[in-house]
Amino acid sequence: MPYIERTGKKTIKEQLYQWFGVMTDPRIDGFNGWACKQKIYEIKMECDRLLNSPDCPTYSGEQEWLQEQKENIAVERLSGTKDNIPYVD
């Protein structure tokens, strides 16, 4: 059965980067920065919970894709060509 995606990954990334911007802006107080960091942690913990669920299947090509992503991150860090925090893909 198809599903309706209410919020696309672009919108989710935009929200994460907005929270990151607030969290790292030295002109914004720690109360707001910490609130944004908590939101990022909550999202991370929920993603970890879902991905580690025994009901979460492993798909063909998944391990290769994950390895490729890790290699891409390593190359970006070693080459110094990105700050590792893109705005939106």
The dihedral of CA 41, 44, 45, 46: what is its sign? positive
Find out whether 20 and 40 touch, Cβ atoms under 8 Å: yes
Question: In this prediction, what percent of the chain has a pLDDT beyond 90?
Answer: 72
Using alpha carbons, select from 16, 22, 9, 32 the residue that is nearest to residue 89: 9
| pLDDT greater at residue 46 or residue 85 | 46
Give the DSSP letter of residue 61: T
pLDDT, tens digit, for every residue of 53-78?
999 999 999 999 999 999 988 888 88
Would you say residue 81 has pLDDT above 80?
A: no
pLDDT band with cut points at 50, 70 and 90 for residue 84: low
CA pair distance 11, 55, nearest whole angstrom = 26
Would you say residue 2 has pLDDT above 90?
A: no
